[in-house]
Amino acid sequence: MRRRLVSSFTRLALLGLVGAGLSGCIGEELRHGYQVDQAALATVKPGMGPEQVLQILGTPSTVSTVGNKSWYYISQNTSRTVMFLGEQVQDQKVIAVYFTPGFKVERVALYGMQDGKVFDFIDRTTPTSGQDRAFISQLFRGLTRYEPFGSGSGASIVPGANRGQ
């Protein structure tokens, strides 16, 4: 009887330990970048200087390098269902502060996911046109377009081939 009680207690403790360990691997929500404060954003008005914008919104995530002077504050909310697996983007916001040539605030815009396309900045792949067709179709396409002595219209890729005609 006592041995059965100890065995049951050991199983229950082991099951609890495994359950607690697995519960740490289940889903989480992550926030990246500048988190939008609507009250602070409402205080940025046209005509303000860059120092005032820095005091209100802080340092921008990135700035434009060409064209008009613009500051961008980027935030992204993601989630994943299981720890260490890929993240799915739930929400993304970009606050754009556009400046005049005199470096005064011209306008402020707020862009969301519906305004753009989410893409991976570091994809580690190079797109090529060869991925559009199957390997066999590329081989046959190369065989049917092979023209070693020109296109038959009198033009030739061989130097001096058309001189004797």
Q: Provide the pLDDT for residue 64.
A: 86
What is the residue-averaged pLDDT of the chain? Answer: 75
Confidence of residue 97 (pLDDT cuts 50, 70, 90): very high
Q: Provide the pLDDT for residue 141.
A: 65
Cα(64)–Cα(54) distance, integer angstroms:
16
pTM: 0.54
Q: What tens digit of pLDDT does each residue of 46-68 get?
A: 999 999 999 999 899 889 887 76
Cα(3)–Cα(33) distance, integer angstroms:
56
Nearest partner of 56 among 30, 95, 92, judged by Cα: 95
How far from the centroid of its chain's Cα atoms is residue 48's Cα? 32
Nearest partner of 73 among 51, 58, 55, judged by Cα: 58
Six-digit token pair at 107? 């306008």
